[in-house]
Structures are given as structure tokens and as C-alpha cells.
């Protein structure tokens, strides 16, 4: 991760992610969506206040040991925020969703953060289909049956591939 944080870029991506996610949640009928929508309306005015996700958890998932941030209640509807660039774009989004009652998972993917291959013979492949399978393996490892996927850049593509799978 970069040592310097571009606050304008984070605010833009944070606002976009929360707004799109809140709209999707509202359309899907989740009762907590209204609170997230109300909070997303004020984020455009707010200065990003979080600089990290805090503790990063680890889990073996498929062929990887994946690092991920988690916030919110364990029994809330799960939202998986899939990366684009930079990773720190979700540090202000995750707390808003968690405050709305959602279990928020922000995983590192191949080549980023605290992620390692469990075997040296595993192909180091960054194709979208492989990253999607990694995300499904993470869901299996965390016993997540169903999740709302949100992402941008590569994360958005990964979400589309997961939906197709």
C-alpha cells in the first residue's frame, strides 16, 4: 500500500462505492439500506478519517492464504468489497456499511497485501476467472453462503465473473 493517501481520490471512490452499493442494497430490499443511503449522502462533505482497516485476519482459502479486513456484526448480511486501486479506498466505506448492520469483508487478492500461495507449485495467475475463484474459495472458507459484491476496476470485473460462475 502507498504511504501517501490522496484524500480527493479516496473521497471520490468512497462516495461512488457507497452510493452504488447503497442503491443496490435499496433495490434488493434490505431494510438497513435507507440508513446506508442517508450516511452516503453526507460522505461527500466528509473528510476521510480512517487511515487503515486495523487488524487484518488470515484464512486458508483454496490455494491461497488470504489476508482480509472484517467489520460489522457476524450475523449481518455480508458485503464483500472487491479491490480496484488503491486498497485504502474502502477504509471509509467499510465502517459505514458495518454501522448499518452489514458484515463487511475486504480481501486482499493475488499479488497484494498479506496474501501467499500455499504451495510453490501453484501458478501465479492474475486472470479475472482465477481471482473470482479465489473469492469464492474465501466465501467457502468463511462459511458465507450469500454475499453482496461491490467493487470497481478489477474488483467490478471479478464480481461479474463470480456472478457468471
Residue 1 falls inside a structural domain: no
Residue 100 falls inside a structural domain: yes
pLDDT of residue 24: 57
Residue 82 falls inside a structural domain: yes
Residues 6-51: pLDDT tens digits? 555 555 555 555 555 555 555 555 555 555 555 555 544 555 566 6
Residue 2 falls inside a structural domain: no
Residue 68 falls inside a structural domain: yes
pLDDT category at 110 given cuts 50, 70, 90 is confident
Residue 144 falls inside a structural domain: yes
Domain count, the chain: 1
Structural domain for 56, as ranges: 7-164
Residue 54, domain CATH: 3.40.50.1820
pLDDT of residue 135: 93
- Mapping DSSP onto H, E and C, the string for the chain reads CCCCCCHHHHHHHHHHHHHHHHHHHHHHCCCCHHHHHHHHHHHCCCCCCCCCCCCCEEEEECCEEEEEEEECCCCCCEEEEECCCCHHHHCCHHHHHHHCCCEEEEECCCCCCCEEECCCCCCCCCCHHHHHHHHHHHHHHCCCCCCEEEECCHHHHHHHHHHHC
| Cis check: omega of the bond before 97, within 30 degrees of 0 | no
Pairwise pLDDT comparison (148 vs 34), residue with the higher score: 148
Residue 83 falls inside a structural domain: yes
Residue 110 falls inside a structural domain: yes
How many Cβ atoms sit within 10 Å of the Cβ of residue 148? 18
Pairwise pLDDT comparison (23 vs 68), residue with the higher score: 68
Amino acid at each position: 500500500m502507498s504511504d501517501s493517501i490522496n484524500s480527493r481520490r479516496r473521497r471520490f471512490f468512497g462516495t461512488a462505492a457507497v452510493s452504488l452499493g447503497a442503491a443496490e442494497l435499496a433495490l434488493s430490499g434490505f431494510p438497513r439500506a435507507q440508513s446506508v443511503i442517508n450516511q452516503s449522502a453526507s460522505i461527500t462533505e466528509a473528510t476521510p478519517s480512517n487511515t487503515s482497516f486495523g487488524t487484518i485476519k488470515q484464512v486458508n482459502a483454496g490455494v491461497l492464504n488470504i489476508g482480509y479486513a472484517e467489520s460489522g456484526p457476524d450475523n449481518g448480511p455480508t458485503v464483500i468489497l472487491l479491490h480496484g486501486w488503491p486498497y485504502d479506498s474502502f477504509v471509509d466505506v467499510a465502517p459505514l456499511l458495518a454501522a448499518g448492520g452489514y458484515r463487511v469483508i475486504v480481501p486482499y487478492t493475488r499479488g497484494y497485501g498479506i496474501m501467499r500461495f500455499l504451495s510453490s507449485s501453484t501458478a501465479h495467475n492474475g486472470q479475472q476467472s482465477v481471482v473470482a475463484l479465489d473469492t469464492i474459495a474465501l466465501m467457502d472458507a468463511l462459511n458465507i453462503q450469500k454475499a453482496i459484491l461491490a467493487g470497481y476496476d478489477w474488483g467490478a470485473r471479478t464480481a461479474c465473473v463470480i456472478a457468471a460462475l
